[in-house]
Amino acid sequence: MEKPSKDIQEFTRKWVEEVGVEQPSPNFVNNVMKQIEMNTSMAKQYKPLVSKRTWLVVAAIVMAGIALVYIFPSSEPAYLQAMLQEEIPRIKSPFVGMEVSKTLVYGIGCLALFLIQIPFLKRQFVR
């Protein structure tokens, strides 16, 4: 087993002596540093998802809507008011008379908190 290892070492030593060691150019370090500087200067610049112009347009639309509601107030139409008075008393809640234990309420609350945490934890693990 020792013989192949020694043969490889001798072959490698002879080959390195024949080829010689390559010397880098005198400006090698400067050239590498220039390339690194060029790569870092090409880094992506921050660009917001929603531009300032879009925010200004959204703000103008909201302000115009508020101003229109303030300038031209409207009352509820008579048919809507009549419909609300007639229809609401007819609708019965399916949960009337239903009793729920505290344990069930705590269980539903814990399940809801768990399901709310899943997206946040997923984002944390992806990062």
Q: What is the DSSP string of 41-59?
A: HTPPPP--SS-HHHHHHHH
45 burial via Cβ count (<10 Å: 0-12, 13-18, 19+)? exposed
Say how far apart CA 106 and CA 109 lie, in whole Å: 5
- Per-residue pLDDT in tens (0 to 9) along the chain, 127 residues: 456 677 888 888 888 888 777 778 888 888 888 888 877 666 677 788 899 999 999 999 999 999 988 888 776 666 666 666 666 666 677 778 888 899 999 999 999 999 999 988 888 888 7
φ, ψ for residue 100, nearest 5 deg:
-125, 135
d(CA 90, CA 86): 7
Residue at token pair 């909201």: 62
- pTM of the predicted protein model: 0.31
